[in-house]
Amino acid sequence: MRISRLQLHDFRGWTDLELQPRTHVLLAGVPRAGRSDVISALTRLLDPASIRVQPALSDIRQQRTRAATGATMLSENEAPAARDDVEISAASHGQEHAVAEFGEAEVTLVDLDPELAQLCDGFLEPLDGDDQVDQTGNAAPDAPFGVRLSYRVSYDTKTDLLEHVVFFSGA
């Protein structure tokens, strides 16, 4: 089994990230560059024990805004109040925190061994020539199969409820 794609959306420090490794991968970078975020996403997706622990609010991307101007401190240059998927929490020291509605990580697994393919029966999807799930519906009859898994963590500010789930995102 190998990973052909990892996609993060509002997961930890990443607004959007898509990785499509072709061979082995080395994660390198300065502190706070997001290496641990990628590892955490893969852990949530591939380690069955991770779903049994309490979810973490830190898995959902948060951003700080200046309370006085409403201008964002992120590169998006977009006030969080203008986004539908972001909710503003209490202000502290002249800044407000905007928390995305949910954080999500998705992985595409290919080159599955027969036992794993059998466990994923009913959720397997045909792949294109780049080992990505064929979204066109025109996959070759002899195309290999892969499976997509998603991890989603969500926080409801009204009920103060934090939930997480791993699910098959395809088929």
Residue 24 domain flag? yes
Question: Number of folded domains in the chain?
Answer: 1
Q: Which tokens belong to 144?
A: 């290999």
Q: Which tokens belong to 117?
A: 């393919």
| Nearest CA among 130, 126, 121 for reference residue 142 | 126
Residue-wise pLDDT tens digits, 16-47: 999 999 889 899 999 988 999 999 999 999 99
Cβ within 8 Å of residue 29, ≥6 positions away: 35
Q: How many C-beta atoms lie closer than 10 Å to residue 135's C-beta? A: 10
The confidence score (pLDDT) of residue 72 equals 43
Q: Rounded to an integer, what distance in angstroms lies between the CA atom of residue 7 and that of residue 13?
A: 13
Residue 9 domain flag? yes
The domain of 108 spans 2-62+101-168
Residue 72 domain flag? no
Q: What is the CATH number of the domain that holds 110?
A: 3.40.50
Residues facing residue 55 across a β-bridge: none
Residue 75 domain flag? no
Residue-wise pLDDT tens digits, 111-152: 999 999 999 999 999 999 899 999 888 889 999 999 999 999
Residue 161 domain flag? yes
Burial of residue 49, with CB atoms counted within 10 A of its CB: 0-12 exposed, 13-18 middle, 19 or more buried? exposed
Residue 43 domain flag? yes
Residue 82 domain flag? no
Q: Rounded to an integer, what distance in angstroms lies between the CA atom of residue 30 and that of residue 8?
A: 20
Residue 40 domain flag? yes
Q: Rounded to an integer, what distance in angstroms lies between the CA atom of residue 62 and that of residue 96?
A: 10
